[in-house]
Structure formats: structure tokens, C-alpha cells
Structure 1
Amino acid sequence: MSIWLTSAFQSEHWAVGDQTWSRNPATGVFELADYKGWGAPPPACDPLDLAPLVGARVSADAADRAGQSVALFPGPFKFSPVTGKALPAPSTAHRGTWAPPFGDDGCADDSPHGLRLTAAPLGLRSTLTVESLPDRQLAAPPAGHYQFLVSACQTCDARLLALEFARGRIYHWLPHSERWLELRPAGARALGRSTLGEQAWGVAVHDPQGASRIFMPTDDGLAIVSINLIAGTFESHVVGTRCLGAPVLWQGKVYVPMLQEDGKLGIHGLDPAGTSLRRVEGPGLDAASAAWVRPLADRRQIVWMSAAGQLVVKPGAGDTLEASLLPWPPGVVPSFELGSPYLSRSGHLWQQCMLQDDGKGREEGQRFGFVQLGLQEPEIRPASSPRLSTGAASFQLDARLRIAPWFDADVSMDSNAGEVIIPLLESTATSTVLCARVASTMPADSLFASNEAHTATFELHGENDVQFWVARLPRPWATQPFVYAGHLYLYHPDKRRLPGWRIDP
């Protein structure tokens, strides 16, 4: 620790680790002057929002406060330099992370990514009922459609960030003030907008805990975003051209489909620490107008899917990679609205599709099947009825039977069940599945095409099934779950509050 005086105001400056604090000799008041070279917090910053971010100690002693609401001291200070009294320990920091949309940090190369699976534990107390009040409620961010990121962003406390990709906005939830703060661009470049759909947009995060670089697709190119929670700002550096799909972190690099100057689609990769793009070998693909859903990745390949086919990146000769477009087999139409592809026990990914190659129109009947992804001539396994999936767990549309793909193939769908269970998210840590039970007698395709309000019961399936919330919502399957500060939250753009339930350890 070192101390020096400024020449202009004769304030003391204290260097404490990676922080610099200023002290007014007349009042003894300490103020944060710099954190890791990121500058000082804005004057309007509430000290109780700031303290957990920097690990500061808080004193409410009148002698320490010098007329302010509270006094802050550097974390290493165990005693007040004003009174000599012991200072309270810094508040307990939250260290959990969440990468949108399903809490998949994409860091492990030995497991598939892009499914509705999270390693975050999802466990609610068994005494909850639909009449129980949420344990916490957050105000919703300004009107829009959001994805949520939880990260410390290289500070001492993990914070909740709301990303409005259609407008290029980022909001920071201030837990003490209980309000959303819009982060400002630190330079001249604002964050570009993205016209990708809800099923297509996603981010790649190199370091989920620090989130020093967040890779976001925009219509201007791939935005490399660094967030400064102390100053309430962000910096954005854009590389490449318009992103036609979401980026993915795979084998240590970030890959993203982009629109090339010739109007075709190309896959580009970059090192997470750099800004130099390199095009993946392969022909220019006439698929620039396709709506590509969020990518899947396993140790073998990356797959972006659309109605036009599968955009695949695989290892080629030597150390090279090759990109290709695999059309769906004749008569096969992918059903993205039914949830994630399935992960079989052998580790292969299968997409649920409608099979229309029997000459029958949709009015005469539908057949469903599972198509193995990433193959020029894929295996197709028929199913008796559609399933709704997180990737590992699946539910038949009679709302009563949880099954795995291509098992119980003779069980028929009960069209008179009157409700459908829609799995939203599965925890691999606790073997629990978050679901929305929707009251409806519509056929599956009509239900998912509908914007009318439905009564939905949210429940957690596991060793003990728990029903914990009921709401009437349009498109309740669009509800975004996320985990923040030890609570499971549910976000729906039509709700002005985000209810949260404490996660049992």
C-alpha cells in the first residue's frame, strides 16, 4: 500500500492492490478513484451498489460517514482509520455465471453445446405450490425482448445484465437500488442491432466468470464487447460483416456465419484474444437468406440449422476445417418449434422433423422422425408422435408421459388430454427439468403458431415434482429462465416483474 498527495487539492491517494482510493484529510472520507485502470464510478453511483463490486467495507458509523449515507473503505481495512473500530466484513459476493440463453458456458469440449441444458443446479423446495408467492421479484427492464447474462465482468460480484439485441442495448441490474442502469458506450461506437430471430440469436463468452470479451452477432459484424461495471460503460469492437447466425466457441476459437462481399455465406473464425478473422475453407454457400437457428457443437462438428439444410463445420485434411451445406433429405422438414435436438446415449445429435415423403398432405396425416445431424446421408428413425425436448429429457404431447426418443414408439398421442407439457430447461447437475404445462386442445403446430394467451403452470420435474407458479401468457413457451444470485427467475416480455424462487442447495 502506498500513499501520496495530489498537488491541486492536497487529497491523499491510497494505492490498495489493483485499486486507488482518494481520502479527504479534512473529513476522512474515502472514495474510489480507480479500479483496475477502468476509472472511477460516476458521481450518482449508490455506494451500496458499488461496494460488492470492489469488495469494499461499509460503515454506518456517524463518525465515519461525515454526513453521507454510509462510508466505504478499501477491503483490506479491518479497522476504521477514523474511529479505530472494527469494520464489518465485505458483503458475500455472488460468483455464479449464466450465459444466454440456457446457461451453457460452452467451455468444455467433451460435451455438446447449444441444447436446453445447464450445469446450474435447479432445485426448488418441495413445499412450494402455485399459491406460494415468489421469494423475490425484480422489475423488468424497459420494454423489449431480452436475453440475460450473469457475470462478474472482472469485478468481485457477479451481476445480472439484460441484453436487448434487436436495439443494441445493455442494462445492468443494480441490486441495492433495485433498478436497471443502461450502460453507455465508452467510445464513439455504439453496439449495433441484430435482426436475427429469437431462436437464432446467441452469444459466445470466452471467460464466463470474467466475461472480459463477449462476442455478439450484429448486422454490422461480430461485436467484441467488454463491459465496465464500475464506470457503467462498455466498449465494442466490430470485426467482419453482417452476422447471419450466432457465434459459438469451439476448440478454443469463435466461429460465426457471415455475409460475404459476393452475397454468399461464409464461416469465419477468430482467436478469442484477437480480432483477426480467418475464413473456414469451403465453397461460397447460396444460403445467405436462410434463417439459421442457434448453433450446436460437439467434439466432432458445429451445426447451424435452417429450413434450407445444415451448415456444418468439421475437421478436414491435416489441421484445416471445412464448411459445407447439407440439404435435408427429400420430404424432411425440421420442426424447430418442438425444442432442442436430441442427444442420444451414443453422443450423437438428432433433429426432430416432419416426414412428408409418403405422398400424404398435412391434412391427411403427419409422420415424425429423428434425423441424425452432420451426415450427407443421415439415418432417419421414425416416431409415432412429436416430442418436446430439452436435448436430454423429452415429453410426449399427451402431457402425461416423459420418454426418451425412439422408445415407447407405439404410444399414441392423446388429442383429448387438454394440456401440453413443454420442457424449457434441464439441469444436468440435479437431473431436474423445468416445464410449462399449457392448457390447450389445439394440435401442436397450431398451438405454437398461436399468439393467444394460454394458462400455463410452471413446474419442476425431478425426484419430487413441484408446481410453483401459474400465469396467463401469450406464447408461454417463450418464457426465458435464468439463474442469478441463488434464485431461478422467469422472464416473459409481457410481464413487468421477474419472479424468482430460491434454489435449494
Structure 2
Amino acid sequence: MKEKDGEWALPSGVWVQTNESFSLTKTARGRSVSAHASPADIATVVGSTFEDQTPRKFYPPEFHYSPLTGKPLGKPPSNEDAGWAPPFGNASIDAGGSSDARGLRRTQHSLSLRNIKSRTADKQPDDSMDVPPPGEYQFFSVPFGERGATLIALDPLKGTLFARLPASCTWQPLEGVGPAIVDECSLPHHAWRAELAKCGTDPGCTLFVATQAGLARITPDIASLTYEVTYIGGAPAVGAPIAFDNQIWIPLQAKNGQIRFVGVNSVGELKSDLTVVGPEGATIDVSEIGLPVSYGRVAIWVCKTGQLRVQKQSDGGAVATFLQWPPNLLPRLDFGSPYLTSSGQLWQVCFNTVTNQYDWVRIDSAHAEISTATTLRLCSGMVNFRITSKTSMPPWEEPEHTDDTSSNDFVIPLLESSTSDVVVGLRLSSEAGIAQAFESKERMPYALCYDDSDNEVTFFTAYAPEPWRIRLFVHSGKLWAYHSRAKRIEGWDLA
């Protein structure tokens, strides 16, 4: 809608027309466009339409025809990616789609690499980008409307955010507006995750992350290089947030020492506030906690002494409880994700301190079942690896015919697709065994490997300390790999 001569107030923001050109001056949230963002950056971020000439002339994304010639305007490619919430690519909580378990190392992205048959370990990646300033980052691909998505890097330990301007190819800091900035988060690397939600009728998205001040709802405004943050719960988070039963839940440490759960809707309104009820005399130790998983009628946070659970009740409400582990069992929180059987059961790997074996404990039910494994298998969700062999068999069942136990190599599945049979893994070698390898802080060689029904391809090799800390993410039609000690973020084209 044209409010006055030369100025257009549109859902994407306020645009000013000067002669035959248009420029965004105010974002959809009414903030001034940053001087650090070029017109090409802004056009990519908001999904501007254009006349295909040199130099390209951009228009507000609401314009479908040239106001000068009446001819149809060019459109940027549709944003086929439904966004990426770290670390394993859950789409926006209101994107719909799959009803699979949430929180496993599974994503709805296909992960199929282009030209996979011609890829080799020594071939250069298809693309690369510089890393943000020193830190330990998690990456969001945040959609804006139907077209365009911006890459955002968050360092949870520092509470700092950077946006990558797509045309300038630079990382720029996002500054907080209003009274609050993003607080720090003390969760370990293997226990951190986030949620992404659409902002109602607003074309942008909101990030939900754990902090020392509670559940943070962060709304970035890329064109102005700012963000706004609000907090829910008013107490330190002791675990990561996860979507469950149309709410985003997170465990908090109350002042009296009790654990409570708060649940909010996608716009950050508090909908639930539950105190955890555990067995009398039970010690709830959340100093070591893993990633949450939600599936069916329950959301679970596994921790050192048991499971924090939010269970949906028959009356539509929910109850928060604590369930202790069976005797002599310690969960291994850093050994991948729980295993989801084809029948919909969730199992967590634990170490039995009496038998010195690995036991898998069923966690989707309050009645513990235990299955003992003869070898340790690392899992990403519905797939696990026996040494270097991918299998969907339960990790406590051994194949009848196998001859790989003498190998020093093993594969850590980093990410599996829920819409294809692709798994991207990390191949390592250790004479001391898998468990001991995870204790090493030394630089070591590693390989990224691609595994589907037709291909087993190593497509990248490098050296890094603790290479299992690599974060994969999908953005702009590419699979990217980030390690905090690497000089570049490497990328490969998706098919």
C-alpha cells in the first residue's frame, strides 16, 4: 500500500522510491536498515523481486510486476528449506510434516550430495566460507517469508550472535534492542539444542534457546542487524528446550533447589509451569544431562541419576516426574542419540558398572526394559554403526555373519535423514577403542563419509581435536561442516 508519494509501507517494511529505484529504509519491525548491509544483501534477505538487467534493479518482494513496464518481475528461488534449528536440523515447530521423534540426530532434509559417485576424499569441497569471530558456534538457517533465508551463528557460552550477509559474504554482529541482551548458557556441547518458530503473521522467525536467565525467545531483525530477547521462567535452564504437545518445554532450577518445567507457545506465552515430582528420597542430579527427546505422549531429558519426564495425561494436561535408572547403570550422554525402533520404542545406551557392559534401557515407557549389547554401537536415531557398518538393527542385536571386529576404524553417525536413507558420519581410527577415543583431546585425522543404499563414499579428510564436535547444517542448498578450530566452514552441494 502506498501511503504517500515515494514511500511504500508493506509487510516487508517501508520502501522509498527515488526516481526508478526502490530501497528499504525501515524493516518490518520499524527499525532502520543497517548501513553495514548493502542493497544486494537486503534484497537477498527479504526476497526482493527484480528486473534482470545489469546492474540488477530490485523491488519490494510484494511487487510481482514492474511499475514501469508492467512486465512480470523475476523472483528469487523459492525457499525450499524449512529452516534449520541446531544442532540436527529440526524445522520450525509450526512447519508441520513428520511426526517422528524430535531431538534425535535426524533431519527432514534429504542430505543427498550432488555428484556423489564422483566424490573422493582428496577432492576439494564445493564451497567454503569464513568462520565467525573466535567462539563455539551453533548455526540457524532462518527463513524470511517464502523466499530467502539468513545464516545466524550463536555462541551460547558468550550469548553473542552474528548474521552472515549473503551478498557481502561477511559476518556482522547482531545488537540487542530494548532492555535485555542474550544471557550465557552453561550447558555442555553435547546437551545443547534449540527450537525455531515462525513469528505469526510476521515474515521472520524466532529462536528459543536455554540461558542462565531462563528460556530465551530471540527475534532477529537481519536488515537492521538487531535482535530482541525476552525471558520466560526467571531461573537458570538445566537442560535444552524441545517442542512437545504444541508447547516448547525447558527444565529450570528453582531457587529452592527443585526442578520445574515451563512450557510456552510459539509466541512465547507461558502455558505451563510444573514442578517435578520424584520418588521420595531420590537425588535428581542434573549436573550431567543429555539432549531431550520428545515422541508420542512424553518428552524426556536423560541425566546422570535418571530421567526428567513431561508426560501428557488422558485429560489433556501434563505432569512432570523423575524416574531413576535401574541399579548400576550410568547413561552415556555423549555417545550419540537414543535409538528409535521401527515399532516406535526409544532406548538409551548406559554403562553397567558391575558387568562392564553396555545396556540399552527403554525410556519411552516408565517401566524399564533392559537389553544388553555385546559391542558398543553409536546411534543417530533409527540407524547405528557396528564398527564401520551401517545397520538399522537394534544395537543390542548382532548380525549373524560379520568380520570387522579386528578393525581399528569406527564411524560416528553425525546426522541421518528421515526422508531418505542417507547418513553422514565421521570415520576415525583408534587402537584403544571407541570409548577411549572420546577421551582424547589431541588432534587426530578424521574423514567425513556419506552412506546410502547405493554408496559408501569418503568425501572429506582433515585433522582436528575432538572431531566429533563438528556441527553439520544445511543452508542455501548446501551441507556445511563447522569445527571451532577450523579456519573455514566447508560446504557441499545438495542434489
Q: So what's the TM-score if we normalise by structure 2?
A: 0.89
Change over 3 Å in CA distance of 1:208–1:468 after alignment to 2: farther
Change over 3 Å in CA distance of 1:93–1:52 after alignment to 2: farther
Residue number in structure 1 paired with 2:303: 306
- Structure 1 vs Structure 2: percent identity of aligned residues? 26
**DSSP-derived class of the 1:43 partner:** coil
Residue number in structure 1 paired with 2:47: 55
The one-letter amino acid paired with 2:272 is: R
Cα drift, residue 282 of structure 1: 4.0
Select which of 223, 234, 240 maps to 1:230.
223
**DSSP-derived class of the 2:198 partner:** coil
The one-letter amino acid paired with 2:381 is: G
Cα drift, residue 112 of structure 1: 0.8
Residue number in structure 2 paired with 1:89: 74
Residue number in structure 2 paired with 1:101: 87
Cα drift, residue 368 of structure 1: 1.6
CA contact (8 A) 2:101 2:293 kept: yes
Select which of 393, 398, 408 maps to 1:404.
393
1:372 and 2:362 correspond:
yes
Mean Cα deviation higher: 36-45 or 426-435: 36-45
In structure 1, C-alpha distance between the alignment counterparts of 2:173 and 2:364, rounded to whole Å: 41
Residue number in structure 1 paired with 2:458: 467
Residue number in structure 1 paired with 2:110: 121
Change over 3 Å in CA distance of 1:205–1:57 after alignment to 2: closer
CA contact (8 A) 1:395 1:402 kept: yes
In structure 1, C-alpha distance between the alignment counterparts of 2:384 and 2:199, rounded to whole Å: 28
CA contact (8 A) 1:384 1:412 kept: no
Change over 3 Å in CA distance of 1:486–1:401 after alignment to 2: closer
CA contact (8 A) 1:489 1:499 kept: yes
Mean Cα deviation higher: 30-39 or 465-474: 30-39
In structure 2, C-alpha distance between the alignment counterparts of 1:261 and 1:211, rounded to whole Å: 35
The one-letter amino acid paired with 1:45 is: A
Cα drift, residue 294 of structure 1: 1.5
The one-letter amino acid paired with 2:85 is: A
In structure 1, C-alpha distance between the alignment counterparts of 2:199 and 2:439, rounded to whole Å: 35
CA contact (8 A) 2:276 2:322 kept: no
**DSSP-derived class of the 1:339 partner:** coil
The one-letter amino acid paired with 2:273 is: R
Select which of 348, 352, 367 maps to 1:351.
348
| Structure showing greater Rg | 1
Select which of 420, 427, 432 maps to 1:430.
420
1:216 and 2:209 correspond:
yes
**DSSP-derived class of the 1:216 partner:** strand
Select which of 248, 253, 256 maps to 1:262.
256
Change over 3 Å in CA distance of 1:95–1:169 after alignment to 2: farther
Residue number in structure 2 paired with 1:159: 150
1:326 and 2:323 correspond:
yes
Change over 3 Å in CA distance of 1:392–1:90 after alignment to 2: same
Residue number in structure 1 paired with 2:35: 43
In structure 1, C-alpha distance between the alignment counterparts of 2:64 and 2:399, rounded to whole Å: 66
1:454 and 2:439 correspond:
no
Change over 3 Å in CA distance of 1:88–1:497 after alignment to 2: farther
Residue number in structure 2 paired with 1:65: none
In structure 2, C-alpha distance between the alignment counterparts of 1:381 and 1:38, rounded to whole Å: 57
The one-letter amino acid paired with 2:488 is: R
In structure 2, C-alpha distance between the alignment counterparts of 1:28 and 1:338, rounded to whole Å: 59
CA contact (8 A) 1:385 1:412 kept: no
**DSSP-derived class of the 1:52 partner:** helix
Cα drift, residue 412 of structure 1: 8.4
Residue number in structure 1 paired with 2:136: 145
In structure 2, C-alpha distance between the alignment counterparts of 1:321 and 1:258, rounded to whole Å: 17
Q: How many residue pairs align between the two structures? A: 480
In structure 2, C-alpha distance between the alignment counterparts of 1:79 and 1:323, rounded to whole Å: 57
The one-letter amino acid paired with 1:94 is: N
Mean Cα deviation higher: 315-324 or 382-391: 315-324
Mean Cα deviation higher: 85-94 or 225-234: 85-94
Change over 3 Å in CA distance of 1:140–1:87 after alignment to 2: farther
User: C-alpha offsets along residues 275-316 of structure 1, whole Å, 9 cap, x if unaligned?
Assistant: 335322543785364322121110121100111111111124
CA contact (8 A) 1:220 1:243 kept: yes
CA contact (8 A) 2:300 2:310 kept: yes
The one-letter amino acid paired with 2:4 is: W
The one-letter amino acid paired with 2:472 is: P
Mean Cα deviation higher: 441-450 or 49-58: 49-58
In structure 2, C-alpha distance between the alignment counterparts of 1:471 and 1:345, rounded to whole Å: 35
Q: So what's the TM-score if we normalise by structure 1?
A: 0.88
In structure 1, C-alpha distance between the alignment counterparts of 2:176 and 2:299, rounded to whole Å: 32
Residue number in structure 2 paired with 1:287: 284
Cα drift, residue 470 of structure 1: 0.6
Residue number in structure 2 paired with 1:335: 332
Change over 3 Å in CA distance of 1:296–1:85 after alignment to 2: closer
Cα drift, residue 16 of structure 1: 5.0
Cα drift, residue 93 of structure 1: 4.5
Residue number in structure 1 paired with 2:484: 493
The one-letter amino acid paired with 1:119 is: Q
Cα drift, residue 19 of structure 1: 3.9
**DSSP-derived class of the 1:48 partner:** helix
Cα drift, residue 208 of structure 1: 9.3
The one-letter amino acid paired with 2:393 is: A
CA contact (8 A) 2:350 2:361 kept: yes
**DSSP-derived class of the 2:347 partner:** strand
CA RMSD of aligned residues (A): 2.7
CA contact (8 A) 1:386 1:396 kept: yes
Mean Cα deviation higher: 331-340 or 242-251: 331-340
The one-letter amino acid paired with 2:190 is: Q
**DSSP-derived class of the 2:252 partner:** strand
